[in-house]
Amino acid sequence: MKRIEAIIRQEKLEDVKASLEKAGYPGMTVTSVQGHGKQKGVTQQWRGMEYKVTLLPKTKIEVTVVDADVEKTLQAIKSSAYTGAVGDGKIFVVDIADVVRIRTGEHGEAALN
Ligand SMILES: Nc1ncnc2c1ncn2[C@@H]1O[C@H](COP(=O)(O)OP(=O)(O)OP(=O)(O)O)[C@@H](O)[C@H]1O
Ligand SMILES: [Mg+2]
C-alpha cells in the first residue's frame, strides 16, 4: 500500500477530485498547506518595492491505495493538476505499513477498498 501525497495548486482541487472520481479511489484527505519548491516562492513587485514571498498557499491531497492502483492514481492526478507553469506541484509516494478500519477491525488491503 502507498500513500499518494499530492501538493497541487488550490484552484486545481475540483479538477483533481473529478479526475480521481473517474479513476476510482478509496478515500481522500485534503488539507490547506503552505510551502515552496525550487524557486523558493516568487518575488513580486509591490509599490516599487521588491519583496520575497517564501511560502505560497497550496492544497495537499492524500489518497492511500493498494499497490496495483498506484499508477492509475498518479496518472489521474498528474493529468488534472498540470498547467505546464512552475508551481504545478509535486507528488510524493510513501510506503504504508498498515491500515485499520476502525469500525470492523480489518487490517491491510481489506481495510482500504
Ligand atoms: N522537496 C519538497 N519537499 C516538501 N514539499 C515540497 C518539496 N518540493 C515541493 N514541495 C511542495 O510542493 C509545492 C509546489 O512545489 P513546486 O511545484 O513549486 O515544485 P518545484 O520543484 O519548484 O517545481 P517547479 O519548478 O515546477 O515549480 C510547494 O509549495 C511545497 O509545498
Ligand atoms: Mg516551484
In the chain, what are the domain boundaries?
2-111
Contacts of 102 (CB under 8 A, 6+ apart): none
Within 6 A (CB) of ligand 1 lie: 7, 33, 35-39, 56, 58, 86-90
Q: What b/e sequence results for 79-110 when a residue is b if at least 16 CB atoms lie within 10 Å of its CB, and e otherwise?
A: ebbeeeeebebeeeeeeeeebeeeeeeeeeee
Between the CA of 12 and the centroid of ligand 2 the distance, in Å, is: 16
Name which residue sits closest to atom 18 of ligand 1, judged by CA.
87
Mean pLDDT of 41-64: 78
pLDDT, residue 41, reads 73
Taking 70 as the threshold, does the pLDDT of residue 50 lie above it?
no
User: If pLDDT is split at 50, 70 and 90, which confidence band does 32 have?
Assistant: very high
Between the CA of 103 and the centroid of ligand 1 the distance, in Å, is: 36
Torsion from C-alpha of 5, 9, 10, 16, nearest 10 degrees? -60
State percent of the chain over pLDDT 70: 90
- pTM given for the model: 0.92
Q: What fold does the segment set 2-111 form as a domain? A: Alpha-Beta Plaits (3.30.70)
Query: Which cell numbers hold the place of 79?
Result: 493529468
